[in-house]
Chain A
Amino acid sequence: MADQTLKVDVERRYRRGPTITAAFEVDLDAAGTLVLFGPSGSGKTTILRCVAGLERPDRGRIAVGDDAWFDAARRIEMPPQRRRIGYLPQGFALFPHLDVRSSIGYGISEGSRSDRASRVRELVGLLGLEGLERRRPSDLSGGQQQRVALGRALARRPRLLLLDEPLSALDAPTREALRLELRQLLLAAGLSAIVVTHDRTEALVLGDRVAVMEQGAIRQLGPTVDVFDHPADEAVARIVGVETVLPGTVVETSGGLLRLKVGTALIEAVGTRSLGTAVLISIRAEDVIIGASTEQRSASFSARNHITGRVTAIEPAGALVRVRLDCGFPLVAAVTRPAVEAMSLTPGTPVVAIFKAPAVHVIG
C-alpha cells in the first residue's frame, strides 16, 4: 500500500502583498478534518486553492507519497482535473443553468449512463434532496444549495474534500442548524477534508485538528481541543477566541502551583515558573462559573479561584450569554440564558467568579 499522506509545504508570494506559507500533512486514508482557521486575509483560502491546483505556489511541494501534485523545483504542476479532489468554493459556485440532478452528476465521467444515474440518486438520498432533482439553484434555499454543492463534490468519489467557508454563505439560523449536520456528513462520507473557516464555533465543531493561521503563516497546528485550550502564544490565543488574555506576575510558586497577581486580584494556576516572571494568562469563558456574592465560599467548592467582582455587561451570543465581569481584571463568563435569569444578573450585580486553577492557561 503506497503512502497516502498528503504533504503540503508551500509558499505563495504576492507582489506588493503578503507572503503566505504553510506546511502540514493530511492522511488521506483516515477520515478526519483539518480546519484552517484564522481571520480573513490570513491566507487560508490561498493555501486551500494551492492544494486544489487553482493557484500556483511560488515555492515548495505538494505530494501524496511519491505522487507530486506540485513541485516548484521539478516544475511539476498537476492540473486540478487530475487531483481527484472535491472542492467547495466560497458561495458554492453552483452552475445556474443546471438542475440539482445535472449538477450532482456533472463530475461523474466514468461508468454507464445507468451507473451515473444511480450514483446521483444515491447522493440525492444521502443529502436529503429528494423531490428537488429538477430544481435550479435559484429555486433552492441556502442550505439546499450547500448540500447540492457537497453532493457535486462527492459524486466522483474524491480522495480529499476541500471546503472553503462552507457555512458562511448561509444566514445565521441555517448556519447554526447545518454545522452539526455538516460534521455528521463529513464523518459519514469517511473522507479526509480540509475546511477553511474564520468562525470559531465552526472550527471547534468541524475540526479534528486545527491549524491557526495569521498574517500568512500557520501559528499553531494540533488537535482542536489542544489548540483551543492551550494556545501557543498571545496571537493564537487572541484568534482562537479565548475570552480573557491578561498579563500577570508570578508572586508565589509551590508544588506545581502558581499564584499570580493579575490586575488587583490574586489567582491560582497550574504550572512551573520562577518567582517574578511576567506571564500571560488566558481563561476560556466556558470555564468560568458565576456565583452569587452572598454564597458561602472557599470550602464548599473544589475550584481554587473565587474572585469577587461585579457584572459590567451582558451580551447574548446564541444559546449562551457572555457576561463581562470586573474582578480587578476583566473576565468573561459564558453561561446559559436561564442561569442569567435565575440569578437576575444585570450590570452592577455583585458576583463571585469561580474557576479551577487548571482552567487558567499560562502563556509565556
Chain B
Amino acid sequence: MDWQAVGLSVRLGLATTGVLLVIGMPIGYWLARSRRPWRPLVEALVALPLVLPPTVLGFYLLLAMGPRGPLGAVWAAATGGRLAFSFEALLLASVISSLPFAVQPFSVAFAAIDRSLLETSWTLGRSGIATFFRIVIPLSAGGILTGMVLTFAHTLGEFGVVLMVGGSIPGETRTVAIVIYDRVQALDYAGAAATALPLLLISFAVLALTYGLRGLTVAPWLTRR
C-alpha cells in the first residue's frame, strides 16, 4: 500500500476539482446561455478530452510544457523552474482532461433553469452576478455536485495523461494509477492489488455518498413534488 501515492492522487483530485469549480462554472454558464454562432466550437473544444486518447492529449501537453514549449517557457520565465514532470504540470493536465466532466453537468444544470427566474431577479434589482449566486447556484446544486464528483473520480483514475506529462516521481507525480501500472510491470500483482483495492473502494464510497446526499438534503426542491 503506497500511502504517498494515495495522498498525491487525492491531493491532485481535490485541486483539480477546486480549479474546475472556479473556471468550469463560468464556461458552463456561458455554454448554457450563449447563442453566439461560435458556441459549438467552444463546446467541441471542451468535449475533446472525452474522445481523444489520453496519450494524444498528454503528448500535446508535454510538447507545450517542455522547456521549448510555450507553456514551459512562460513557466520558466515566471518561476525559474521546470514545468514538465512537476505537480503543477500534472494539475494543469488534469484540469484540461477533466474539463468536460465538470463543464457538461454544470452546463446541463444551468440550462435547465427557467430564464424567467433570472429575469425576475434582475427586475428585483439583483445584478447578474448576485443572481448567479442566489438563484443559479442553489438551483443547480445537484448538477454542480455531480460535476465535482465526476471530476474528482476521473482525476483519481486518470492514467494516460499523467504518464505523459508527469512521469513517475514519488510524492510529486507518482499517482495511484501509475503505482499500479508500475507494480504490474514488475509482476508484483499483490502490490498492485493492495493499491488498486483502496482506489476502488474510495471511488465507490465517494459516488455512493454523493448520490445519497443529492437525493436527501442538497436540493430537496428538486425531488419534492
| Residues of A participating in the B interface, judged by any CB pair closer than 8 Å | 52-54, 79-87, 89-91, 93, 95-97, 106-107, 109, 136, 138, 152-153, 155-156
Contact = CB atoms under 8 A, between A and B. Distances in A.
A93 B126 contact: no
24 contacts: A52-B119, A52-B123, A53-B123, A54-B119, A81-B122, A81-B125, A81-B127, A85-B123, A87-B119, A87-B123, A89-B120, A90-B116, A91-B116, A93-B116, A93-B117, A93-B120, A97-B139, A97-B221, A106-B124, A106-B126, A109-B126, A138-B225, A152-B124, A153-B124
B224 A80 contact: no
Nearest to B222: A96
A156 B224 CA distance: 30
Nearest to B138: A97
Given A54-B119, A83-B123, 19 more contacts: A52-B119, A53-B122, A79-B122, A81-B122, A81-B123, A81-B125, A87-B123, A89-B120, A91-B116, A93-B116, A93-B117, A93-B120, A95-B135, A95-B139, A96-B139, A96-B221, A97-B221, A136-B221, A153-B123
B215 to A, nearest CB: 16
Query: What is the predominant secondary structure among interface residues of chain B facing chain A?
Result: helix
B121 interface: yes
A2 to B, nearest CB: 21
A351 B126 CA distance: 62
Query: What is the predominant secondary structure among interface residues of chain A facing chain B?
Result: loop
Nearest to A96: B221
A87 B224 CA distance: 27
Given A97-B138, A138-B224, A138-B225, A80 B123 contact: yes
A89 B119 contact: yes
A96 B223 CA distance: 11
Contact of A54 (B123, B125, B134, B224): B123
A97 B125 CA distance: 19
B125 A156 contact: yes
A138 B222 CA distance: 10
